[in-house]
Structure 1
Amino acid sequence: MTQFFNKFYKNQSQLYKIILLAFTTIFIVFIFPKSGRFKYDFEKGKPWQSENLYAPFNFAIEKSSEEILKEENNIKSNATYYFNLNDSVKKQVEKKLATELDLVISDTLEYPKRRLIRNSSKELLEQIYKVGFLDQDINLPNSTKSVLLISNEEVLNTNYGSLFVQDSLNNTISNFINTTNVKEFKSEISNVIYNSILPNLTYNESLTNKVIEENLDKISPTRGSVEKQTLIISKGEVVEGEKYKVLKSLEAQYESQIWTTYNYYWIVFAYTLLVALALLMLLLFLKKYRYDIYLNNTKVTFIFFNIFIMVLLTTLIINYNSKYIYVIPITILPLVIKAFFDARLGLFTHVITILLLGSIVPNSYEYMFLQIIAGIVTILTVSELYKRANLFISVGQITLVYVIAYFAFYVIHEGSIENLEFENFVLFVLCGLATLFVQPIIYIYEKLFGLVSDVSLLELSDTNTKLLKRLSNEAPGTFHHSLNVANLAEACANEIGANAMLVRVGALYHDIGKINNPTYFTENQSSGLNPHDELSPKESAKIIIDHTLKGIEIAKKYNLPERVIDFIRTHHGTSVVYYFYSKEKVSDPEVDINLFRYPGPIPFSKETAILMMCDSVEAASKSLSNPTTPKFNEFVEKIVEKQLSEGQFLNSNITLKEIQLIKKVLKAKLANIYHLRIEYPE
């Protein structure tokens, strides 16, 4: 059991990466669309670029939204309207009419005329109720529209224009009187009708709408069908008209058909293979070319997290409306990776992410081409991200590349620019503006993952920071030494293409451990007294060696990033405090040299190796008397060769050529610092 746990402990880092790979794959596959994807890209009015296409299965031709809308409008415009007919109203009105006639007709009026008025009024009323009197005009656009009158006894079919309504009652009475011989009694007849008449028709809106909805539900979303193995379109044929509709139907039904459980699991399995393979390639890249990052699980998690976020954002936009896909600022990914690691890893991560997205986005070839080109431009143009002007210029260049590449694709497809969609250019501009948010995103990532970017390094390089202020006040000689080392290291880093900002910051903080006992270090001994005179060589060596451990403690107390603390750990490597070792050896020839050796580790990057060389050379240069150029050359060669022979640079991935360039810079810089000046007259 103990052996098992020991083996588990030794391989826990590898196990974590396997679990991380598995969970990232699961999350990405989970948010991916699970339907089958139509493997052909096509656009209306453009040639079919693929091979001859035959129907893979029987499918129906879907109607376009315009066709369905036209059918809906046709049903609504030809719909039958329903009215409720109240048969009892007519009898009520007839009784009321008799009463009104008795009140209106004067007894002095001759009998024939009284009878004429009565008969005419009853005839007019009969004429109105024969068709029906509506309580309100519902303003149907077509007066000849068919309507149904529903009563307890029967259902009558008529047209809307024949119904009488309140607004047209006056015209009805006038027309009736003008066709009879009762013109002189128009006023009496009108009063009788107006006082007696009541509507016997009521619009049944609920029934009408119910019938319309039932007819709308009967609209078929398809028209006709295509049999399996039927030729749909030939290679080179223009996609338009009926062929375009058939292709859209095939695409829609292929991607939205209800998959069986068997098919669904196959699709999920296939997506899992693709995603896992892409992420595995990223892990293998890290293991082969960025092994220090591969060993750091936090950094690996950070990279995978960024990939997942980009896939998630893109999937959400595709589900909402795929035409806005270019609003997603994908180039933030290589920017962030480059800011924390390097350009090569940033580009590789960007390409892996684009390959993942290529399986779900429309027009995948065009999308992948645009995004990969934009990623390359991002890596090549964005440098010194902490300078705001550089970021704005780079974002402008990225946006311009998007516009140019999209324009080229459009002309290739269309053959002209007549129908160029300028709103897509607006999307590219919005994408560029969104990319500017990379600065606050980097800040958030620094806090979440404990990483450090060039922006933070720039802040740490300010000599007015609390820790450097303390160093300058309590150990001014060490502070001056650190400034000189920083200048030398920065020049060397620029010469070989290393991270100059990182090595400068590392140099500024590498000796902060001397704050605890500043007078035990010669650069701070201004009074001429040396406290080591009262100590044994072993005690003195321990104080000197401990400044690296004390420095690490102070750095953590002030929350310095791990990348900066690495310079404190490694700037002496496993070298020996040779002065006190030689002194002790006089009295004890058998003394253990390891008592005078720094605990290490040795430098494990180009930057930490540069600091070791510059620190040793700058500190030892103070001991030179009557410095000359030959002395500097010999002096630098001796120190660096000694470090090489001790194997201090074995883990730093630095080449002999680069070491030669560093020695050249150190010789030139020291010659400039200690150049002879002319003697000024008193």
Structure 2
Amino acid sequence: MNSFKNIIEYIMKTRSKFLRIVVPIIALSLYFFLLSFNNVYTETYDIEPLTTARETIRSPITIENQQETKRKTREVYQSVQDRFDISTEIAQEQIGYIAEIFNAVEKLEAESMKEDDSDAPVPLNNREKVERLKQLISNSITEKVDDSVFLRLIDVSPEEREQGEELFITYVQEVYETGVRTANMNSAIESIKENIRYSTLDDNLIEALQELTEFVIVENSFYDADKTEEARKQAASTVEPVMINAGEVIVREGETITNEVYEKLQLVGLLNEDRNVFPVIGLAILILLIGSIIFYEMNRIDNYKRLDKGAIASILLISFFVVSLMKTISLFTTHANELFFIVPVATGVLLVKQLINERLAIVLTALYAILGGIIFNGQIPGTLNIEAVVYFFFSQFAAIVCLMNVKDRLSIVRSGIGMSIANIVTILLFVFLSFEKYSLADLLLLSGYGLASAFLSAVLTIGLLPFFETGLGILSDIKLLQLSSPNQPLLKKILTEAPGTYHHSIMVANLSETACDAIGANGLLARVAAYYHDIGKTVRPHYFIENQLSIKNPHDMISPEQSAEIIIRHPYDGAELLKKHRMPKEIIDVAMQHHGTTLLKYFYFKEKEQNPTTREADFRYPGPKPQTKEAAVISICDSVEAAVRSLQEPTEEKIEEIVSNIVNERLMDGQLDECPLTIKEVKIVHQTICETLKGIFHSRIQYPSKEAK
């Protein structure tokens, strides 16, 4: 039966959590999805080739134009010229013929000089010299070179012939180095002849060399199919793919949609509605992940019993506000005007840190930054504005880090200074990483955007914080600090009407704050709640012993039952008084819960002496028991402070004993059953209270009186 009951309770609890957390997150996720839908959805067009574009159309994706890449590769392949293998052996052989001819002429002249010096017969005539010369050179030369060439070479002076040989060989080598093919042989020959014609050589030598050119110049460059194919493949491999980049203008308004433009539109999916579903699915997955993370964090807060309706409403409203603000500014943002730098995105996390906790603020920092990257993507599906993501993240994170030691609303302004520095540094980061050149005016403008973002974030946070505190009943640190001011009317009321209670509340506040900080609870909330926990005693202050200064105890004149009724009433009188002054619910709860359902032992046993049939339930506080860590700690500290104050000589041993007895009594009486305190945390609270009390009631020097002196 009990198991079935537990199952029913679990189902009801799960259903309650579903309604409180899951439903709001679904609503928030749908809002995120609808707001960023047009940033990923690709609009399609019903157009035909050779018509006029009614608007400027940009590519929604980055994709390779394979057909254009093939065409470009084919052009490069075909543009590579044929490769030829130049034969150096042929060149050396032909140049060797030139040297052989000139060497034979020199040898012939040397023989003629010997014949002139001797008594030999008459020297040879020119005809005979030519015949003799032909005997000295190879048949391969004589068969192709006319005798007139030899005759002209013989008639030239040795100096002129040597100069001509050197010049001729130089021209021939130059031609052979570049390669002589069948196609360019005539032009090579004409080139050498032209150079010889305009030289300063003898006319006969010029004519001989020009005729000799036709013999010397032969084909020495031959087509190489392998090298040609390799060169073409290498050239084709260097061709970069032709890409259509996201955001690239495909056709402008008023231009004709040619077949090439139409093919591009078809390629990027602007004519095919089937492609649009994929970016939408991707966005849905992203929103699902974001919603899951927010659910996890909200469920974690709920497990600590800190997720009330006000906190849920705050998360929803803040998220709605931040994302709507980014979307609105994105409508006016262009590539030339980067207005995302001016978005006061840190407003949301500043509010979350103060209204809920820092951990959730850090998580939302990352989530808001990712959403900002989508919203500011220029409505180009498949892309994220990485600059916006980085800028939003560092701006929000700096705001969280700089909002430390909150004492008043000016702390938010001081946080804005740190935020400004972070914004400007991030902007300079983008400038230095960019290949674009920014002028000084551009830097000043972008820096001004960063300063404006920080200033607006601080101002909006200060302006919106009272709305969440008052409208949704959420208690922030700033509100707590305001409530802790001695100038608060209720604190003045305690001080003037119940000064003993005021001193007691201050002591309880010090103990509670120290103990809560030790276990990770909200120490500031514990301190402020302790200030007000006994406000109900101001209704009948003289019935409480700490306020009975130089007066007779009024309880001596009434029955224990009446006394118990008055004492038991003070938590609920205090709650009503706090509600009347519209104090936060957390403080009202502490005032009602700090005695739980404990027994008013003094009056119970006093009444039991007179009436043995007295019921214990009549002398117990009606409750409720402490529901939070802060309320439980205050309930322990309240009893401990009153007990220790009653000691004549509060030694360390007595303090330890009293604290142990009170803590154990609360545990055994079940007063801590409904709060999330663990046994380990109870031990820490016990130890912390003892250390604090020992510091307060430390040993002092006993100064002698005048009589003793």
Structure 1: distance between partners of 2:246 and 2:550: 95
* Residue 620 of structure 1: how far off its partner (Å): 1.1
Moved more, 404-413 or 542-551: 404-413
Matched, 1:605 2:628: yes
Paired letter, 1:567: V
Instruction: Show the counterpart of 1:24.
Output: 28
Instruction: Show the counterpart of 1:408.
Output: 429
Paired letter, 2:359: R
* Residue 31 of structure 1: how far off its partner (Å): 3.1
Structure 1: distance between partners of 2:392 and 2:665: 50
Structure 1 pair 527–268 and aligned structure 2 pair: CA distance change class (3 A)? same
Instruction: Show the counterpart of 1:369.
Output: 390
- Alignment identity in percent? 27
Structure 1: distance between partners of 2:466 and 2:251: 44
Matched, 1:328 2:343: yes
**Rg: which structure is higher?**
2
CA contact (8 A) 1:445 1:451 kept: yes
Structure 1 pair 502–408 and aligned structure 2 pair: CA distance change class (3 A)? same
* Residue 549 of structure 1: how far off its partner (Å): 1.2
CA contact (8 A) 1:486 1:504 kept: yes
Instruction: Show the counterpart of 1:303.
Output: 315
Three-state SS of the structure 1 residue aligned to 2:333 is: helix
* Residue 229 of structure 1: how far off its partner (Å): 4.3
2:420 to 392, 396, 399: 399
* Residue 468 of structure 1: how far off its partner (Å): 1.8
Structure 2: distance between partners of 1:521 and 1:341: 37
1:344 to 333, 338, 359: 359
Instruction: Show the counterpart of 2:592.
Output: 569
Structure 1: distance between partners of 2:665 and 2:324: 54
Structure 1: distance between partners of 2:598 and 2:284: 51
Per-residue CA distance 1:344-379 (angstroms, 9 max, x = gap): 122123333333333322243332233233333333
CA contact (8 A) 1:57 1:229 kept: no
* Residue 561 of structure 1: how far off its partner (Å): 0.7
* Residue 11 of structure 1: how far off its partner (Å): 4.8
CA contact (8 A) 2:64 2:244 kept: no
CA contact (8 A) 2:530 2:634 kept: yes
Structure 1: distance between partners of 2:54 and 2:22: 53
Paired letter, 1:326: F
Report matched runs for 1:208-219 at 5 Å: none
Structure 1 pair 361–632 and aligned structure 2 pair: CA distance change class (3 A)? same
CA contact (8 A) 2:65 2:267 kept: no
Structure 1 pair 464–389 and aligned structure 2 pair: CA distance change class (3 A)? closer
1:314 to 312, 326, 341: 326
* Residue 512 of structure 1: how far off its partner (Å): 0.8
Three-state SS of the structure 2 residue aligned to 1:34 is: helix
Structure 2: distance between partners of 1:220 and 1:27: 29
Paired letter, 1:676: R
* Residue 482 of structure 1: how far off its partner (Å): 1.2
Structure 2: distance between partners of 1:434 and 1:474: 45
Instruction: Show the counterpart of 1:681.
Output: 705
CA contact (8 A) 1:457 1:502 kept: yes
* Residue 218 of structure 1: how far off its partner (Å): 9.8
Paired letter, 1:381: C
Instruction: Show the counterpart of 2:129.
Output: none
Structure 2: distance between partners of 1:222 and 1:494: 60
* Residue 560 of structure 1: how far off its partner (Å): 0.5
Paired letter, 1:454: D
Instruction: Show the counterpart of 2:487.
Output: 464
Instruction: Show the counterpart of 1:529.
Output: 552
Matched, 1:500 2:523: yes
Report matched runs for 1:101-250 at 5 Å: 229-230=66-67, 248-249=248-249
Structure 1 pair 243–283 and aligned structure 2 pair: CA distance change class (3 A)? closer
Report the TM-score, using the length of structure 2 for normalisation: 0.61
Structure 1: distance between partners of 2:684 and 2:300: 27
Instruction: Show the counterpart of 1:431.
Output: 453
Three-state SS of the structure 1 residue aligned to 2:705 is: coil
CA contact (8 A) 1:283 1:294 kept: no
CA contact (8 A) 2:266 2:272 kept: no
Matched, 1:560 2:560: no
Structure 1: distance between partners of 2:39 and 2:522: 47
How many residue pairs match? The answer is 501
Structure 1: distance between partners of 2:266 and 2:440: 30
CA contact (8 A) 1:25 1:272 kept: no
Paired letter, 1:341: I
Report the TM-score, using the length of structure 1 for normalisation: 0.64
CA contact (8 A) 2:519 2:684 kept: yes
CA contact (8 A) 2:326 2:375 kept: no
CA contact (8 A) 1:571 1:603 kept: yes
Structure 1: distance between partners of 2:539 and 2:58: 87
Per-residue CA distance 1:560-618 (angstroms, 9 max, x = gap): 01121121122122322122222334345554433222233333333223212221111
CA contact (8 A) 2:57 2:250 kept: no
Structure 1: distance between partners of 2:373 and 2:251: 17
Structure 2: distance between partners of 1:436 and 1:219: 45
Structure 1 pair 355–652 and aligned structure 2 pair: CA distance change class (3 A)? farther
Structure 2: distance between partners of 1:599 and 1:255: 76
CA contact (8 A) 1:25 1:275 kept: yes
Q: Which runs of 5+ in 1 are unaligned?
A: 39-55, 62-216
Moved more, 567-576 or 385-394: 385-394
Structure 2: distance between partners of 1:11 and 1:652: 22
Structure 1: distance between partners of 2:553 and 2:647: 20
Three-state SS of the structure 2 residue aligned to 1:320 is: coil
Matched, 1:383 2:407: no
Moved more, 296-305 or 355-364: 355-364
Instruction: Show the counterpart of 2:644.
Output: 621
CA contact (8 A) 1:573 1:602 kept: yes
Moved more, 624-633 or 256-265: 256-265
Structure 1: distance between partners of 2:53 and 2:549: 100
Structure 2: distance between partners of 1:678 and 1:227: 93
1:481 to 489, 504, 513: 504
Structure 1 pair 620–419 and aligned structure 2 pair: CA distance change class (3 A)? same
Structure 1 pair 636–563 and aligned structure 2 pair: CA distance change class (3 A)? same
Structure 1: distance between partners of 2:20 and 2:654: 54
CA contact (8 A) 1:35 1:256 kept: no
Structure 1 pair 653–220 and aligned structure 2 pair: CA distance change class (3 A)? closer
Instruction: Show the counterpart of 1:638.
Output: 661
Three-state SS of the structure 2 residue aligned to 1:321 is: coil
* Residue 259 of structure 1: how far off its partner (Å): 8.5
Three-state SS of the structure 2 residue aligned to 1:626 is: coil
Structure 1: distance between partners of 2:676 and 2:33: 38
